[in-house]
Amino acid sequence: MGTIVIRDAINSDKFSVLNFCKDTFSWGDYIQDVWDYWLSEDNLFLIEKQYPVGMCHAFFSKNQVWIEGIRINSNFRRQGLASELVKHIELLAKEKQISFSFMLIDNENSLSLSMAKSLNYHIFQTWNFYSLLPHVNNNHKIQFSNVLNYTKTSHYVKSWRWLVLDEETSLSLSNQNKIIFSDMSGDISTAILTDSEHFDKTLIVTLFSGSQNNTLDLVSYIQNYGAEKNYKKIQILTKEKLPLLNTLEHKITFNLMQNFLY
């Protein structure tokens, strides 16, 4: 495989990295929108063979590391470079005595799933991504939750990172009126509202669906909230399948992958 070097990215790397990222997906890529943010957050790593041929970003938080943005130049794929980047980040996590590593992979991306599983990752949860159009809609009866009402999950989504939802975080979100729920009929549906830190006017919603009626109640409120606050996009992440609506579009299904580091 030859000599490879993994190093911290610097601003002058931007052009060469974006050049091999521009056609990652059929619609392009988002790396150009987050590069500056990730660079400012640190832990943006490049893999180099005379010039950058791969990249990856890590976000460290409460006993976990979130691995995102793995990209390899198409001329250098199938050489184990993505695995080298992941192992580099895991080593840093172990040095920080962090126990868990997470990443998100499209459930149809068989190559990335195979790579993750070869590194001892397993499917922790499966999540669906929906886009919702902002729309004035006053047909809702939601309530704001306090921390004691919220016990459904260990993680929530913030800027497309699945972060630990502990008592401290839950209380902070509650104090900001970011946790809402509906209990009109059947099992309670709950949602957490957060602003994207990387994309302008984008609302990110972590939704835990109970009954269909309660979920539709939340969706109505979220649509109206998005219109009132002039959001351009509403992105909903949920483990459940949501009801079919003209303004609600299922985009993709992801596997949340977890590795226990020690």
Burial class (CB in 10 A: 0-12, 13-18, 19+), 125: middle
Give the pLDDT confidence score for residue 94 in this predicted structure. 96
Give the pLDDT confidence score for residue 163 in this predicted structure. 95
Give the pLDDT confidence score for residue 1 in this predicted structure. 52
Whether the predicted pLDDT of 243 surpasses 90: no
Whether the predicted pLDDT of 207 surpasses 50: yes
Whether the predicted pLDDT of 80 surpasses 90: yes
- Confidence class for position 96, pLDDT limits 50, 70, 90: very high
Long-range contacts of the stretch 94-98 (C-beta < 8 A, 24+): 94/261, 94/262, 96/60, 98/60, 98/63, 98/64, 98/65, 98/261
Q: Is 246 helix (H, G, I), strand (E, B) or coil?
A: coil
Whether the predicted pLDDT of 112 surpasses 90: yes
Give the pLDDT confidence score for residue 252 in this predicted structure. 95
The Cα–Cα gap between 219 and 137 comes to 10
Give the pLDDT confidence score for residue 2 in this predicted structure. 62
The better pLDDT of the pair 234, 23 is held by 234
Whether the predicted pLDDT of 128 surpasses 90: yes
Of the CA atoms within 13 Å of residue 120, those in its CB half-sphere come to 8
Give the pLDDT confidence score for residue 68 in this predicted structure. 97
pLDDT per position as a tens digit, 28-58:
889 999 999 999 999 999 999 889 999 999 9
Whether the predicted pLDDT of 148 surpasses 70: no
- Top mean-pLDDT range of 20-24, 43-47, 143-147, 165-169: 43-47
pLDDT per position as a tens digit, 6-32:
999 999 999 999 999 987 887 788 999
Global pTM reads 0.92
- Please provide the average confidence, as pLDDT, over all residues in the chain: 91
Give the pLDDT confidence score for residue 152 in this predicted structure. 58
Which of 151-160, 178-187, 251-260 bottoms out in mean pLDDT, i.e. has the lowest?
Answer: 151-160
Report the percentage of the chain scoring pLDDT > 90.
74
Give the pLDDT confidence score for residue 167 in this predicted structure. 84
Give the pLDDT confidence score for residue 16 in this predicted structure. 94
